[in-house]
């Protein structure tokens, strides 16, 4: 399905990004994973992927730093020679009520979630334009569509990703470059592990399917959007939320 395609995945060593990397490797893709730093868990995961995929590389990068992003994009091209798929998954949360939210809580979330997505997209769009083809998949959130109390910074950043997705699709579609977004709901990751059982139960009751999603639910859609099977889909934001936001 993705045989010998090269996929770059930001935030590709944990949570949803990790699941996407594993699913794409199983479908034949070569991978370039980007994360802020390389831990032992990261090394172990890269080794696991290397048993499945022909080529896996890891690249440490803070996506909120444009100069670092530009350098890493060149490093990846030098190693892989081409890029077919970009998955912008890197993201953080720093929750607080808006009236109590600090500048750091606002800026850090916007810098990683939105500006990081813009910087990485810009760097690899240059590659895609030279290749005359490319595919970008942005990981947004239903919170960017519906809002959420205590997450105004996160909601704003993900709403921005939605707008960015549609703008990229319109700007570069004529160059054979597609761009879509996935908007997950509550997915079982480190972000949801910190929630109390009572809060989890309330969340589950608000979801039509009455359960949290698995990272693999998002990963399988990402593989579809990365494949030629979705070749006539661009500018879309697809929810994976169990029917929470209908």
Handedness of CA 234, 239, 240, 242 (dihedral sign): negative
Can you give the pLDDT at residue 145?
A: 98
In order along its 246 residues, the chain shows pLDDT tens digits of 999 999 999 999 999 999 999 999 999 999 999 999 999 999 999 999 999 999 999 999 999 999 999 999 999 999 999 999 999 999 999 999 999 999 999 999 999 999 999 999 999 999 999 999 999 999 999 999 999 999 999 999 999 999 999 999 999 999 999 999 999 999 999 878 888 899 999 999 999 999 999 999 999 999 999 999 999 999 999 999 999 999
Question: What is the reported pLDDT for 204?
Answer: 95
C-alpha closest to that of 120 among 85, 162, 148 = 85
The first and second tokens of residue 155, run together, are: 């909601």
Residue 194: predicted pLDDT: 82
Determine whether the annotation assigns residue 176 to a binding site.
no
What is the C-alpha separation between 108 and 79, in angstroms, rounded?
30
Residue 36 in marked binding region? yes
Q: Known binder of ligand: residue 155?
A: yes
Per-residue pLDDT tens digits for 111-134? 999 999 999 999 999 999 999 999
Look up the pTM and report it.
Answer: 0.96
**Active-site option among 119, 154, 172, 186:** 154
Confidence at residue 193, expressed as pLDDT on a 0 to 100 scale: 84
Look at strands 30-35 and 6-10 and give their pairing.
parallel
Q: Is 186 a catalytic residue?
A: no
| Predicted local confidence at residue 190, as pLDDT | 83
Structural domains for the chain: 6-237 (3.40.50.720)
Alpha-carbon gap, residue 118 to 88, rounded angstroms: 9
**Strand 85-88 to strand 237-240: parallel, antiparallel, or no bridges (unpaired)?**
unpaired
């Amino acid at each position: 399905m993705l045989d010998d395609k090269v996929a770059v995945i930001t935030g590709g060593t944990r949570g949803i990004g990790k699941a996407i990397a594993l699913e794409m490797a199983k479908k034949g893709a070569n991978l370039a994973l980007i994360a802020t730093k390389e831990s032992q868990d990261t090394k172990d995961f890269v080794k696991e992927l290397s048993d499945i995929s022909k080529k896996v590389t890891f690249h440490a990068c803070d996506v909120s730093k444009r100069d670092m992003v530009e350098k890493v994009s060149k490093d990846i091209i030098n190693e892989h020679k081409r890029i077919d798929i970009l998955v912008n998954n890197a993201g953080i949360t720093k929750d607080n009520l808006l009236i109590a939210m600090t500048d750091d809580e606002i800026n850090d979330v916007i810098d990683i979630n939105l500006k990081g997505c813009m910087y990485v997209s810009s760097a690899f769009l240059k590659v895609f334009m030279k290749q005359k083809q490319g595919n970008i998949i942005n990981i947004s959130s239903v919170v960017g569509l519906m809002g959420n109390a205590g997450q105004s910074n996160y909601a704003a950043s993900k709403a921005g990703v939605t707008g960015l997705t549609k703008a990229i699709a319109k700007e570069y579609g004529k160059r054979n470059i597609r761009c879509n977004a996935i908007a997950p709901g509550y997915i079982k990751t480190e972000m949801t592990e910190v929630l109390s059982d009572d809060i989890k139960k309330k969340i589950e009751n608000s979801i039509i399917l009455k359960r949290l999603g698995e990272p693999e639910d998002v990963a399988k859609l990402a593989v579809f959007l990365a494949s030629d099977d979705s070749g006539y889909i661009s500018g879309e934001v697809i929810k994976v939320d169990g029917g929470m936001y209908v």
